[in-house]
Amino acid sequence: MLFAFAALFFTSCTKYPPTSDRLLEDLAIVTQYDTKVDFDDYKTFSIVDYITKVTDKDTSIITDANAMAVLDQISKNMKARGFTEAATGEKPDFGIQVIYFQNTYVYAYYYDWWGYYPYWYYYYPYYPVYYSSYTTGLANIELVDLKYVGANSTLYLRWNAYIRGLLTGYHTQAEILSSVDQAFDQTPQLATSAK
């Protein structure tokens, strides 16, 4: 009985998640823009009314409250920088879309309470395998040039932002909207004085 209790006690203990797992909860924002573009040449934009979600299994559309809040925050940031939203039927200078990539990773590990693997490790008594999983998310905000279309209808990406951790369920809506603001703050060049 004592042996069974000791075995249960030691196999039920787990270590704190590795640092890599804890870092997945953090929002990280990276932006880039086309340095050869003069944003003063542009004045209007149009934004899609959904977020495209791409997982390792399928693609779907997100239209929930968080998605609408993200799209609205992008629109507010564009307007604050001097751009106006194109009216229905009007051809915009920029098109904005948001793609959200989500992956789930599953991994297995052995809990070794000795801190090393003794020679009898792979023999009796058997140490159980523990399974764990985590989900990562990356939102990609793309600003596509619709004013100057290239040869063969080539569309050029003029600005984009990558926000890791967005819409994974770990963050409040205020944190999500703040990360969208941060993406725009990282690129002060994305502004127009054209009216």
pLDDT of the residue at 3: 59
Alpha helix segments (H runs only) across the chain:
2-12, 19-23, 65-80, 173-185
Rg (CA), the chain: 24
Q: What is the pLDDT of residues 15-64, one digit of tens each?
A: 545 444 444 457 789 999 999 999 999 999 999 999 999 998 899 999 99
Sign of torsion over alpha carbons 141, 66, 180, 79: positive
pLDDT of the residue at 165: 78
Q: What is the pLDDT of residues 85-94, one digit of tens each?
A: 999 899 999 9
pLDDT of the residue at 19: 46
The band of 170, judged by pLDDT with boundaries at 50, 70 and 90, is confident
pLDDT, mean of residues 178-185: 93
pTM: 0.75
Q: What is the pLDDT of residues 93-130, one digit of tens each?
A: 999 999 999 888 787 766 655 555 555 555 555 566 77
pLDDT of the residue at 23: 46
31's tokens: 């932006």
Per DSSP bridges, beta strands 94-110 and 51-55 are parallel
How many angstroms separate the CA atoms of 65 and 62, rounded? Answer: 9
135 versus 68: the higher-pLDDT residue is 68
